[in-house]
Structure 1
Amino acid sequence: MNKTLYLMRHGQTLFNKRRKVQGWCDSPLTELGVKQAEAAANYFKDHKIIFDHAYCSTSERASDTLEIITDIPYTRLKGLKEWNFGTFEGESEDLNPPLPYNDFFVKFGGEDQKQVQLRMTTTCQKIMEEDYKVVLAVSHGASCKNFMRNWEHTSSITQQAKIGNCCILKFEYENKEFELVEIINHDFSDIRDEFPVVP
């Protein structure tokens, strides 16, 4: 039986706006971030997508995003958290090494890339083995990207660019395998005009 997982990134946060490394540390959604989550909520409403259950990471930016999208009860899971960047947390994104990060952050108390992939995969498989058909999971950019990368061999589409705020990845799940079937990137240009970039 085919099941569907809608895995998405949270809305824009203060640290996103200020270009700060944000993994296990947290910051609140900006006004734009709230509007982005509302746009994602409208996408699900317009397409008449009803969730059997919802999950998010234990970070507040993820649960705040989820609560804008749906009012159904949800479960917070540490397995859906962002990559742990160790002592780089809260620092400028300019300090990040070139991609791929691989095990760069391990020596700074963070996670290895393979750890993030395994954690996300194990968590999402466990979610989809429950008695649900349509699931929403709100996670984070690098976590979503690494989960997607883990299933490139089963999927015919991929997202080369960075996963934007509130980007939705639609996966079909069967026999413990995920297949990426659609990438929903919202056009936030109308919303962005309301929030000019402050130099």
Structure 2
Amino acid sequence: MCKTVKIFRHGETVWNKAGILQGWLDSPLTERGKQQAAVQNFLPEVVYSSDLGRAHATAKLMFPANEIHTDASLREINLGNWQGKTISNLLHDRNYQTYIQRPERFTATTQETLQQVTARMLDFIQSLIHRPENNIAIISHGVAISCLNNALQNKPLSTLWDGGLLTGGQSITFRYDKNEWQIVSSGTCSKDHSDQYVYNREI
């Protein structure tokens, strides 16, 4: 069995541009965000998206010929009472500082834990193993994608922010082959794993 899963971050939003935390709240795509969501060369058999508006809007722009299947498991981290606040105003918050500097020590108060985000993202991608499609596109969110990637590489939570997050429209490609998930440089399944690579993560 061999499956290719290409997972995209949604395009830039109004709140992204303004430095406002969204979490489970939402704001529309900017013009730049719409451009980042340009039609892709990747031709998926099925497209899954977070049910948040910015991800669903990105999915429709990227893959206009496909039906978009939404799933709440692909949502961004719920940031609780930080949602709707500017990042600059949260820098004095010790718990927020821990979240961005020492994620392994972060203790959620009104937020979702990073472990919870990781678990639901892993559950979703594992469920794809048993589905008939072999070429799959997913549109999700920056922190959620990083949690998934970190877990699939068996890295400690302390490395979660290493290299930053994907920017709008950027993607990671995963391949399920020989009973394991790997990051790959192409969607081609092969007898060896020589095409592994470290993806480009920009702040």
TM range (shorter): 0.7 to 0.9
Q: Following superposition, which runs of at least 4 residues in structure 1 exceed 4 angstroms of deviation?
A: 183-187
How far apart in 1 are the matches of 2:13 and 2:44? 25
Match of 1:164 among 144, 152, 167: 167
Q: Name the residue aligned to 1:82.
A: 76
How far apart in 1 are the matches of 2:154 and 2:184? 13
Q: Name the residue aligned to 1:20.
A: 20
Question: What SS does the corresponding residue of 1:65 show, helix, strand or coil?
Answer: helix
How far apart in 1 are the matches of 2:76 and 2:103? 14
How far apart in 1 are the matches of 2:145 and 2:61? 20
Q: Name the residue aligned to 2:188.
A: none
Question: What SS does the corresponding residue of 1:144 show, helix, strand or coil?
Answer: helix
How far apart in 2 are the matches of 1:31 and 1:136? 22
Question: What SS does the corresponding residue of 2:132 show, helix, strand or coil?
Answer: coil
Structure 1 residues 107-137: Cα deviation after superposition (integer angstroms, max 9, x where no partner): 1x21111111111010111134210100000
Contact 1:125 1:176 in 2 (8 A): no
Alpha-carbon shift at residue 82 of structure 1 (Å): 0.1
How far apart in 2 are the matches of 1:121 and 1:186? 20
Question: What SS does the corresponding residue of 2:108 show, helix, strand or coil?
Answer: helix
Question: What SS does the corresponding residue of 2:147 show, helix, strand or coil?
Answer: helix
Find out whether 1:130 has 2:123 as its counterpart: no
1:60 alignment partner AA: G
Q: Name the count of aligned residue pairs.
A: 176
How far apart in 1 are the matches of 2:20 and 2:178? 39
Structure 1 residues 157-181: Cα deviation after superposition (integer angstroms, max 9, x where no partner): xx72321111110000136632111
Alpha-carbon shift at residue 184 of structure 1 (Å): 6.7
Alpha-carbon shift at residue 102 of structure 1 (Å): 4.2
**Alignment CA distance shift 1:184-1:160 (3 Å):** closer
Question: What SS does the corresponding residue of 1:178 show, helix, strand or coil?
Answer: strand
Report sequence identity in percent.
Answer: 27
Q: Name the residue aligned to 2:31.
A: 31
Structure 1 residues 43-81: Cα deviation after superposition (integer angstroms, max 9, x where no partner): x32xxx321100000101001000011121121000000
Contact 2:165 2:201 in 1 (8 A): no
Question: What SS does the corresponding residue of 1:79 show, helix, strand or coil?
Answer: helix
- CA-based RMSD of the aligned residues comes to 2.4
How far apart in 2 are the matches of 1:172 and 1:145? 16
Find out whether 1:70 has 2:73 as its counterpart: no
**Alignment CA distance shift 1:120-1:103 (3 Å):** farther
Alpha-carbon shift at residue 103 of structure 1 (Å): 6.4
Residue segments in structure 2 that go unaligned for 5+ positions in a row: 91-95, 156-161, 186-197
Find out whether 1:6 has 2:6 as its counterpart: yes
- Calculate the TM-score normalised by the size of structure 1: 0.80
1:88 alignment partner AA: W
Contact 2:142 2:166 in 1 (8 A): yes
Q: Which moved more, 1:177-186 or 1:86-95?
A: 177-186
Find out whether 1:55 has 2:48 as its counterpart: yes
